Structure 1
Amino acid sequence: METIVIEGQSGNSTVIVDERIEEVAKYLPGKPLYIITDKNIERHHSKRFPNAPVYAIHPGEASKQLGYIENIYRWLLENNADRNSFILGIGGGVVCDIAGFVASTYMRGVEFGFVSTSLLSQVDASVGGKNGVDLDGYKNIIGTFNQPRFVLCDTNLLQTLHKEELVNGFAEMVKHALISDIILFEQLENDCSELLHLRQPIVSKHVAESIKVKATIVSADERESGIRKLLNFGHTWGHAVETLTGISHGKAVSIGMEFACRLSMEKGLFSNREYLRVIKLLQSFGLPTCMNIEPSKVFNALVKDKKRNANSIDFVLLKGIGVPKIETMALEELKKFAEKRL
């Protein structure tokens, strides 16, 4: 078991890797408890939950809509939740996003924590204090920065996931390596087969290492005014692809990382050899690196990105594996490059 602390303005968040879901009670603060989960997690694991009222959402991104969230607020009111309550999200990225957003806004904010059940949420979505919901198909347009009291990452739960769910998490692990450390990238190359087969202790080691990358960045820049923008690597183009196509988050981010690496190469920052090495690793994890979609449509979705600033956007490039660069790019330049790929 490994403990990682994220230092935030609203307080510290403790991430515990390899703590079992049955042990969550010892991390709860003794306040009235309300659990938010999804119907799949409830069906498979509800007997392992602490004793408390449970609201189970429909699995998937479609539940991250304001109209749906209103139902959870009403449920909390009907069950007499007050400002002294504690909300526990048990699930993957969507559940953690919703539970964190609801907790941060209900009665101007109550404490919350997570039991993270998917690889994506363990290495990314549940860690870092971003809590958001979607609007008209655009991801996380409405949200807050607020740290969970704790995040439990029970890696044993990963054994129940479909391959599709696992590859979402592998994409974020590759991203964290690309923006931080070539040695971590090399370890992913060496351990790819072991990770695909969920062999321990390799899985727990890489989950912890990936969380440490994000924890270091978030502790230095919780509100994304500087270095935290590095975590958007692959996401600017990837989120637009995800919005248009509905493919899974990890697959969209993988396509976004290919785009960013190719753009880095176009600018003379990144070598062809490094580019091919990244593509090989992504494909080894079963991730796509291209998609038959009209670039102009992706660009039109991209301009609605919350990170855009008037006619420019901060885009994360690579000067080498493990050597990122944030560059403010004119949207017109980005559009010309996207169209050039045709």
Structure 2
Amino acid sequence: MKIQTHQFKQQATRYFLGESLLQLGNHVDINRSVLVIDENVERHHGAKLHQWKKIVIPSGEDVKNMATVEKIIDGLISYEADRKTTLVGIGGGMMTDVAGFAASIYMRGIPFGFVPTTLLAQVDASIGGKNGVSHGKQKNLLGTITQPEFILFDYTLPLTMPDEEWHNGFAEIIKYACIMDAELFDFLEANKQKALARDVDVLQYLVEKSVDAKTKVVLEDEFETGPRRWLNFGHTLGHAVEKIEHIAHGKAVAIGMVAASRFSEQLMGFPNDQTLRIINLINDYQLPVAFTSDKDAVFDIFKLDKKREKDAIHFVLLEKIGKATTMPVPIAELKEMLQGL
């Protein structure tokens, strides 16, 4: 196990890289903690955690809402949790979002930590302090930026995921490669067979590279006023597609990255052969690349994106593989380009 400590503006967060879920009690007091886990994690790993106080919630993106947060809060009240109680979210990206949000608002904030169990949560959702829920058509509309006290990365947990969910996690890793790490892009191309076969050494390398990449950006721009916006590459359109099609987050982001690469060709002179390289890599990791959603419906959602300011959206574009930039693009121009996809 490797331990890293990162000092964010609010507090320090400890990363336990390569630690086992079975060792959770070494890092948080079992008598002063409450676990919140989804039903899938409870089914696979609940027996290992039978001595802990637990709140079990449904799984799936559709329950990332205030009703689920209220269920967590009701559970905390039933356990008589106070301001020194630590809430530990164990699960995928939906879990880290709702658990972090519930902890941020219960008694005006209690300590919390995460044990991400999916590849997507390990490389992205658990890191950076963004917590929240969706409301109506808008994904992640309500939320806070509050850092966890710790994140425990058990590399064996994602190995039990279904194939589709395994592929889903690679979208965010590909994103980091596109926006800031051309060497990681090369590695993904060269090691696709091992990665898809769930080679643990390759998994460890990819998770730790991704964790380093996201942490570096968040430390530089914790509250998303500049470079942290790069992490939204593929997400502006992707969130809209995800909401309309009810598909997995990684699949939607993959479609969004291809669209953003096409937009980068038009707005930044991004070379077409680089777009094709991105498309091939996304294909290799068995993620979708074709934009087939109703364009008007997508536009109706993404025109209300949180990154909108007046009549423009701060859109993440590529100058080259490994280097992103953000540009305010007029809504009308985005609509026109969207019609051309």
- Normalised by the length of structure 2, the TM-score is 0.97
Aligned position for 2:134 = 134
In 2: Cα distance, 1:139 partner to 1:5 partner: 30
Q: Does 1:64 align with 2:81?
A: no
Corresponding residue of 2:339:
339
Spell out the pairing of 1:264-283 with structure 2 (5 A cutoff).
Answer: 264-283=264-283
Q: Which residues of 2 match residues 235-314 of structure 1 at below 5 A?
A: 235-314=235-314
Q: What is the CA–CA distance in structure 1 between the aligned matches of 2:118 and 2:99, rounded to whole Å?
A: 15
Match of 1:23, SS? helix
Which residue does the alignment assign to 1:104? Answer: 104
Given that 1:5 and 1:215 are in contact with CA atoms closer than 8 Å, whether structure 2 keeps it comes out as no
Instruction: Give the Cα–Cα distance (whole angstroms) in 1 for the partners of residues 137 and 268 of structure 2.
Output: 35
Amino acid at match of 1:299: F
Where in structure 2 are the equivalents of 1:1-342 lying within 5 Å?
1-28=1-28, 32-49=32-49, 51-341=51-341
2:268/2:317 contact within 8 Å kept: no
Alpha-carbon distance in 2 for matches of 1:296, 1:7: 43
Give, in whole Å, the separation in 1 of the partners of 2:180 and 2:16: 22
Deviation at 1:64, TM superposition (A): 1.1
Offset of residue 7 of structure 1: 2.7
CA distance in 1, matches of 2:155, 2:148: 19
Whole-angstrom CA distance in 1 between matches of 2:314 and 2:18? 36
Distance 1:293 1:284 in 2: 22
User: Structure 1 residue 104: deviation in Å?
Assistant: 0.6
Deviations 1:22-60 (A, max 9, x none): 111111157611110001111111122273221111110
Deviation at 1:84, TM superposition (A): 1.3
CA distance in 2, matches of 1:239, 1:149: 28
Q: Decide which moves more: 25-34 or 125-134.
A: 25-34
Query: CA offsets, 1:227-255, max 9 Å, x none?
Result: 10010000011001111111110000000
- SS of the equivalent of 1:40 reads helix
Shift of 1:148: 0.6
Amino acid at match of 1:23: Q
Q: How far does the alpha carbon of each residue in 1:37-94 deviate from its partner, in whole angstroms, 9 at most, with x for none?
A: 0011111111222732211111101221112321221221122111111101111111
Return the offset for 1:137.
3.4
Q: Provide the secondary structure at the position in 2 that maps to 1:155.
A: coil
Q: Deviations over 1:82-120 (max 9, x none)?
A: 111110111111111111011111000000001110000
Segment of structure 1 superposing worse, 120-129 or 154-163: 154-163
CA distance 1:2–1:187, change in 2 (3 Å): farther
- Judge conservation of contact 2:155–2:200 (CA < 8 Å) in 1: no
Structure-2 change in CA distance of 1:311 and 1:268 (3 Å): closer
Distance 1:283 1:166 in 2: 14
CA contact (8 A) 1:244 1:301 kept: no
**Residues 332 and 6 of structure 1, relative CA distance in 2, 3 Å threshold:** farther
Q: How many residues align?
A: 341
Tell me which moved more, 111-120 or 130-139. 130-139
Tell me, in whole angstroms, the C-alpha distance in 1 between the residues paired with 2:49 and 2:269: 49
Cα deviation, residue 268, structure 1: 4.3
When residues 293 and 30 of structure 1 are mapped into structure 2, their CA distance, relative to the original with a 3 A threshold, is closer
SS at match of 1:203: helix
Distance 1:135 1:154, change over 3 A: same
State the 1:273 CA deviation. 1.0
The 1:187/1:58 distance shift into structure 2, 3 A limit, reads: same
Partners of 1:170 and 1:105 lie apart in 2 by: 32
Residue aligned with 1:139, SS: strand
Offset of 1:178 from its aligned partner?
A: 0.7
Which residue identity is paired with 1:85?
A: T
Q: Give the partner amino acid of 1:99.
A: A
Report sequence identity in percent.
39
RMSD across aligned positions (CA): 1.3
Q: Check whether the contact 1:269–1:318 (CA below 8 A) recurs between aligned residues.
A: no
Moved more, 288-297 or 193-202: 288-297
Using structure 1 for the length normalisation, give the TM-score.
0.97
